[in-house]
């Protein structure tokens, strides 16, 4: 197969002059097979599909100690205010404190003020994940169909089982 000319594929000029690198475009799935290697250059193979215990425990990790939660909340205060403002900080703080005191983690949710800016919602989700790891955040719509973020407590397996019974 003859190589097509630049002009036949729509290239009319180059930004720089000099030597060019030729390449072959890959198009089959076998062109993209990757083998992971360790530091000794041995090919690593997958031996199990089971999640290692130390990862499984982190996945289920929740905060249930009121003092620990309040400490994390206070440590995160400045970051939350910087992104969401004082009013949202007070709302989140009140939601967390009231929910723990009333032992309603399984049923309580909190909606932040509507936010149409997707980038700010993404930053808010990231903030919750990195600072308030005991809360789950999800994008939701309020009664007026405005985009907002809903917060609720992450529950351990035992808390989820208890909530199902109630």
Distance, CA of 95 to CA of 128 (rounded, Å)? 14
Predicted TM-score (pTM) of this structure: 0.57
Give the model confidence (pLDDT) of 35-64 as tens digits: 888 889 888 887 877 777 666 554 444 555
Distance CA 99, CA 102 (A): 5
Q: How far is CA 153 from CA 12, 32, 40, 109, in A?
A: 58, 41, 44, 8
User: Coil, strand or helix: which one is 135?
Assistant: strand
Residue 16 has pLDDT above 80, yes or no: no
Would you give the DSSP letter of residue 166?
-
Instruction: From 130, 119, 121, 128, select the one nearest 151 (Cα to Cα).
Output: 128
Q: Give the mean model confidence (pLDDT) for residues 99-108.
A: 82
């Amino acid at each position: 197969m003859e190589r097509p000319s630049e002009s036949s594929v729509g290239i009319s000029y180059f930004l720089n002059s000099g030597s060019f690198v030729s390449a072959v475009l890959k198009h089959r799935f076998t062109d993209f097979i990757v083998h992971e290697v360790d530091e000794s250059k041995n090919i690593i193979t997958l031996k199990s599909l089971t999640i290692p215990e130390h990862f499984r425990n982190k996945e289920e990790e929740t905060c249930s100690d009121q003092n620990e939660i309040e400490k994390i909340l206070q440590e995160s205060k400045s970051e939350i205010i910087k992104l969401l403002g004082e009013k949202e900080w007070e709302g989140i703080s009140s939601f967390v404190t009231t929910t723990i005191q009333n032992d309603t983690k399984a049923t309580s949710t909190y909606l932040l003020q509507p936010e149409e800016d997707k980038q700010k919602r993404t930053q808010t989700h990231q903030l919750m994940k990195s600072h308030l790891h005991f809360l789950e955040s999800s994008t939701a719509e309020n009664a007026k169909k405005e985009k907002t973020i809903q917060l609720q407590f992450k529950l351990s397996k035992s808390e989820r089982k208890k909530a199902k019974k109630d």
